[in-house]
């Protein structure tokens, strides 16, 4: 009986993790659209923008703060997704 309970718990945890991964994927799609918008608007790839922003080479434009936040959220979501995928393997 304990074995079936353990399996049920494991399956429930895996389903929960899979659901979170699906949510992250949806969030990533939106964040990527945001990043692409800024790249097109400012003619700069996100990685290069981020490097310049952190070095203080760009002016204080509200777009830049939003772009920076979007990039950091993207990075964090990718990290979370990787950890979750690793956890259910």
What is the separation of C-alpha 67 from the centre of its chain, rounded to a whole number of angstroms?
14
DSSP category for residue 43: T
Contact 88, 14 (CB under 8 A): yes
Q: How large a percentage of the chain has pLDDT more than 90?
A: 89
Residue 1 has pLDDT above 60, yes or no: no
- Joined together, the tokens standing for residue 26 give 């949806």
- What confidence tens digit (pLDDT) does each residue in 6-48 have? 989 999 999 999 999 999 999 999 999 999 999 999 999 999 9
């Amino acid at each position: 009986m304990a074995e079936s309970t353990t399996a049920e718990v494991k399956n429930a945890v895996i389903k929960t993790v899979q659901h979170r991964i699906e949510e992250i994927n949806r969030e990533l799609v939106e964040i990527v659209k945001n990043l692409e918008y800024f790249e097109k608007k400012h003619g700069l790839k996100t990685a290069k923008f981020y490097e310049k922003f952190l070095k203080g080479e760009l002016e204080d434009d509200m777009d830049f703060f939003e772009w920076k936040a979007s990039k950091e959220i993207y990075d964090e979501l990718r990290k979370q997704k990787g950890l979750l995928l690793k956890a259910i393997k």
